[in-house]
Amino acid sequence: MKHLKAARPGLDRRAFMGRIIGGGMIGAGLLGSAAFAQDGAASQRNISSFRNRHWNEFFSSLGKGVLLADVSSRAVYYWSGDGQTSRVYPCSIPMTEQLTRRGRTEIVRKQTNPSWTPTADMRSRDPSLPAQVAGGAPDNPLGPFALYLSWPAYLVHGTHDTRKIGRRSSSGCYGLYNEHITELFGMAEVGTQVAVF
């Protein structure tokens, strides 16, 4: 590490990460090969699960923006309507294939401090679930912001339980770290095109 600092003054891991994330580069794909290059087995697992995707694989134009939810990579991709902003966020995914709805939809509503109402199916699997949890409550699993899709009961939202990110842990939604949903909520518009695959 001393050699790197001597060769490039002021360049450290935090600055490098800040440039990647702040610059809108797709850091997960860039870092995936570097982070696992020393361990062949880990590299094989990483390569098989994460794939860099692009909006034009699913839509003919950006419109108001594009959001892709990649179940295999456990990532949400976002592009703004003007094409100037792109982001990749790690996410939680549905627990089973039966709970995973795939296809095209759009963002139809944005909500700050969304209330959570477990579906009838969720309550049949876990009768201890409450009928509803108020928005902003500490036990509300939706976090501070939610983007509602045209499919009933499917959302992209935050979560206070960060252990869920990168895992099969939801009943159909895509959960992001709260700082990521805060950023995405500020950028994504109602009418943003969504593809889940």
Q: Which residues are catalytic?
A: 157, 173
d(CA 66, CA 63): 8
Residue 123's H or E segment, with its range, is helix 120-125
Residues 6+ apart with CB under 8 A from 97: none
In terms of Cα–Cα distance, which of 16, 41, 53 is closest to 31? 16
**43 φ, ψ to 5°?**
-60, -40
